[in-house]
Amino acid sequence: MSERIYLFTRFERFWHWAQAGLIITLLFTGFAIHGSHGLVGFRKAVEIHEIAAWLLIGLWILAIFWHFTTGQWKHYIPTAKNIDSMVRYYAYGIFIGAPHPYKVTQERKHNPLQRLAYLGVKLVINPLVWISGLVYLFWGALQGSLPAGLGLQQVATAHTVGAFLMLAFLIVHVYLATAGHTPLAHIKAMITGWEDLHDAAEEAAGKPAAR
């Protein structure tokens, strides 16, 4: 007996994957500009980086609009409730087949750890990257009208800090995407929109999984 819920709407899935592709592109070209690798030439990297940045800005504007018009922003309200059981689960329970302590519903589709992490991305990493990136991009016009002491070096450093945080987030995020009841379960949900609650539900009820 399987239960499926429609968790991710078409726009949310498009937003997610487009954002994923753009962020990976931006990290790749960004670190090329930074001089960390030479897999793409400097000029090409700059041009791709800028185009990807504008696309992501556009996507972000759409996403913000979507979050507020649909009320989806509520999924990112942080909560401390059950956060300890989430931590315990990832630190221990996951290895012994303990049931996932969080039951996903359409009303609350992110567990407390996810809420915190995504909120961190939205409120810390993204603004840091975007503000520093836009100042970087328009440095030619902005320099001179910015406070003394705020040089391109500071702007570039802030942007790089943002990039490293995003990189760390990406690694954890991609890994945890495989931590569903099967390694591909979460990924499938983000592609189709449908989350298969079958196992989790039955485990939560203490019933043996149908295999």
Specify the amino acid at residue 133. Answer: G
Task: Candidates 15-23, 38-46, 55-63, 77-85: pick the segment binding another protein (CB under 8 A).
Answer: 38-46
Task: Candidates 17-25, 89-97, 108-116, 187-195: pick the segment binding another protein (CB under 8 A).
Answer: 89-97
Residue for token pair 């030479």 = 38
Query: Could you tell me which residues are beta bridge partners of residue 194?
Result: 6
Near another protein in 45-64, by CB under 8 A:
46-47, 50-51
Q: d(Cα 137, Cα 121) in Å, to the nearest integer?
A: 21
CA dihedral 31, 123, 9, 99 (to 10 degrees): 90
Among 36, 70, 105, 106, binds another protein (CB under 8 A): 36
Of 123 and 168, nearer to another protein (C-beta) is: 168
Of 51 and 77, nearer to another protein (C-beta) is: 51
Q: Report the nearest approach of another protein to the CB of residue 27 (Å).
A: 10
Q: Report the nearest approach of another protein to the CB of residue 128 (Å).
A: 13
CB 42 within 8 A of CB 32: yes
CA dihedral 156, 22, 31, 168 (to 10 degrees): 90
Near another protein in 92-151, by CB under 8 A:
94-98, 139-141, 143, 151
Q: Report the nearest approach of another protein to the CB of residue 107 (Å).
A: 27
Specify the amino acid at residue 148. Answer: A
- The dihedral sign for the CA sequence 144, 145, 146, 148: positive
Please compute, for residue 45, the number of CA atoms within 13 A of its CA located in the half-sphere on the CB side: 18
Site string for another protein, 140-169 (x = CB under 8 A): xx-x-------xxx--xx--xx-xxx-xx-
Of 34 and 74, nearer to another protein (C-beta) is: 34
- Specify the DSSP class assigned to residue 76: G
Of 92 and 194, nearer to another protein (C-beta) is: 92
Nearest to 21 by CA among 33, 32, 29: 29
Of 73 and 118, nearer to another protein (C-beta) is: 118
Nearest to 58 by CA among 69, 70, 50: 50
The residues that touch another protein, with contacts defined as CB under 8 A, are 33-36, 41-43, 46-47, 50-51, 90, 94-98, 139-141, 143, 151-153, 156-157, 160-161, 163-165, 167-168, 171-172, 175, 178-179, 203, 208-209, 211
